[in-house]
């Protein structure tokens, strides 16, 4: 079809053109990351059943191994379970008594009951952290009502927050990701802190009051800001080194299987404006042309600058 010369020119030009396309993808990732992540979520949506089929043999083998290990020392396991059952019965009685007392106190205080949160349960489709981040994809089925910022928990404690939403799949950024910052309360010392992920298994505690250092072994709970309610269990404080407190998460972040995503409603904890404070009046939204500058107009900048220099 083409002459030999044309074909040689095309062959030489192919690699530079493809490299330019790759650079364009890098730039697109920097400017519009959600577009790229949306395509990846859709690909995961399509492959979700295949992933389940792929890990099915591995899950079965692991189940057999657990059964086999249990069968080898049945007597010891029985004794341990009996002891644990006795302890659990005691805690059950304590819990029932406390629940009754709590209900009585609430009724005498005319406590306004909190609305029960909606939740969706999903199975982890895949761990998609990569070398630099910690995140998982959940298969939550179609027609879910999950929003960005919803809270993900496993049976033991907080796992993370939802960052991207696909038709069947949602991405949950785990609490040990480098980008995760969660306001927490320390249960015993009642101090506040920020739990910052650093890509290790134990997120660090930062910005705690210098006169109230976290105590080794005390419980760490959520503080209750934005879409996250107060009092969700996260883990316990542990000192890896002097002045370096970390949180040992209750949830097993390495082996995640079934995860629940709770919708606690957004900005439920929004504080009212302080009395006497002049309310800031936001300027009316200006009609912007598509393709305008992505940042707001700066004061003192000519009006035409943001609109393509008309």
Partner 1 sequence: MVAENSTPHLHSAVEPRQTIRRRLDMFARAAMPSLFIILVAVLLSAPFGIPGQPELQFGIAMCTVWFWAFSRPKSMPAWAVFLCGLSVEIFSFGPPGAVLLSLLVIYGVAHHWRYGLSRLGFVSCWLIFSFFAALASFFQWALVCVHAFALLSPAPGLFQAALTIGIYPSLTALFVWGRRTFANPDQA
Question: Which residues form the interface with partner 1 (CB under 8 A)?
Answer: 14-15, 18-19, 21-30, 33, 36-37, 39-40, 43-44, 47, 50-51, 54-55, 58, 124-133, 135, 171, 178-179, 198-199, 254-255
Measured from the CB atom, the residue of 135 and 182 that comes closer to partner 1 is 135
- Residue 65 CB, shortest distance to partner 1, in Å, is 14
- Residue 157 CB, shortest distance to partner 1, in Å, is 20
- Residue 149 CB, shortest distance to partner 1, in Å, is 19
- Residue 191 CB, shortest distance to partner 1, in Å, is 26
Measured from the CB atom, the residue of 26 and 280 that comes closer to partner 1 is 26
Measured from the CB atom, the residue of 90 and 255 that comes closer to partner 1 is 255
Distance CA 152, CA 159 (A): 5
Measured from the CB atom, the residue of 29 and 70 that comes closer to partner 1 is 29
Measured from the CB atom, the residue of 48 and 193 that comes closer to partner 1 is 48
- Residue 144 CB, shortest distance to partner 1, in Å, is 20
């Amino acid at each position: 079809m083409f002459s030999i010369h044309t074909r040689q020119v095309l062959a030489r030009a192919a690699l530079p053109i493809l490299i330019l396309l790759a650079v364009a993808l890098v730039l697109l990732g920097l400017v519009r990351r959600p577009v790229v992540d949306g395509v990846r979520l859709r690909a995961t949506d399509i492959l979700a059943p295949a992933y389940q089929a792929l890990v099915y043999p591995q899950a079965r083998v692991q189940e057999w191994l657990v059964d086999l290990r249990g069968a080898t020392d049945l007597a010891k396991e029985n004794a341990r379970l009996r002891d644990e059952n006795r302890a659990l019965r005691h805690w059950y009685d304590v819990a029932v008594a406390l629940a009754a007392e709590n209900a009585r106190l609430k009724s005498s205080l005319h406590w306004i009951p909190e609305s029960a949160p909606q939740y969706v349960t999903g199975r982890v489709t895949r761990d998609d952290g990569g070398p630099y981040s910690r995140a998982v994809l959940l298969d939550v089925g179609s027609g879910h009502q999950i929003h960005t910022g919803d809270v993900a928990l496993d049976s033991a404690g907080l796992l993370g927050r939802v960052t991207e939403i696909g038709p069947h799949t949602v991405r949950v950024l785990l609490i040990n990701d480098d980008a995760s910052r969660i306001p927490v309360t320390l249960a015993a010392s009642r101090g506040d802190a920020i739990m910052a992920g650093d890509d290790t298994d134990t997120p660090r505690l930062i910005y705690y009051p210098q006169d109230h250092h976290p105590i080794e072994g005390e419980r760490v709970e959520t503080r209750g800001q934005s879409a996250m309610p107060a009092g969700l269990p996260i883990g316990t404080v542990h000192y890896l080194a002097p002045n370096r407190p970390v949180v040992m998460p209750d949830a097993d972040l390495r082996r995640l299987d079934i995860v629940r995503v709770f919708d606690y409603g957004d900005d439920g904890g929004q504080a009212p404006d302080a009395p006497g404070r002049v309310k800031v009046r936001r300027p009316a939204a200006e009609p912007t042309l598509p393709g305008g500058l992505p940042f707001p107009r700066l004061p003192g900048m000519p009006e035409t600058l943001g609109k393509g220099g008309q």
